[in-house]
Homo-oligomer: A and B are copies of this chain.
């Protein structure tokens, strides 16, 4: 046993399985933490335990929360009639960091995928259509990734809402702020060109 104790070896193995880490970075992290074992490491353990025990999905929108309903769904000021549909919670967090959207969300938890046999029911799209009618939503913003599966999903939802009187919109495609043309893929450049606007 090279690394101290069975628990230390098990901890390194667990850390090494995390996305973006590997055996070497796991070993370095664990040694760093052991050096700070009475402070940072205990705190991290307690926070992980608390979050693991206390987190659940918001029953209304699918956001991660520590209650039945997340802070956004519980906030009456966010009943703007705008509903932003995202693939996963990471996207919801990214939009909230942008502070530009003041309505509510719906987290699909994935995209339609023929290959992975993920259909509309798996993503709760019938429930989403019900929610849109029930909550008097006036605009659905499909903030899905610009991938094939993301766009397939956006089209499916747009069709499901056709004739409902709800406006269905999507994020504008174009050059990101600070983005250099030379580094963008061709699809992005073409889309930005097609959507060009008068200055």
A contact residues vs B (CB 8 Å cutoff) = 1-5, 7-8, 10-11, 14-15, 17-20, 25, 27-34, 37-38, 40-55, 63-66, 70-71, 88-90, 93, 96-97, 182
Contact = CB atoms under 8 A, between A and B. Distances in A.
Given A5-B54, A49-B45, A31 B96 contact: no
A2 B97 contact: yes
A35 to B, nearest CB: 9
A197 to B, nearest CB: 25
Question: Copies of this chain, how many?
Answer: 2
Contacts of A54: 5, 7
Given A2-B96, A14-B40, A44-B15, A31 B89 contact: yes
Q: Top 5 nearest A-B pairs by Cβ distance?
A: A2-B96, A45-B48, A45-B49, A41-B52, A5-B66
A199 to B, nearest CB: 27
Nearest to A6: B66
Chain A binding surface SS class: helix
14 contacts: A3-B96, A4-B63, A4-B64, A4-B66, A5-B66, A7-B47, A8-B66, A11-B48, A11-B50, A18-B29, A37-B53, A41-B51, A42-B52, A44-B48
A162 to B, nearest CB: 32
Nearest to A3: B93
B19 A64 contact: no
Contacts of A93: 2-3, 27, 31
A29 B7 CA distance: 21
A12 to B, nearest CB: 9
A62 to B, nearest CB: 12
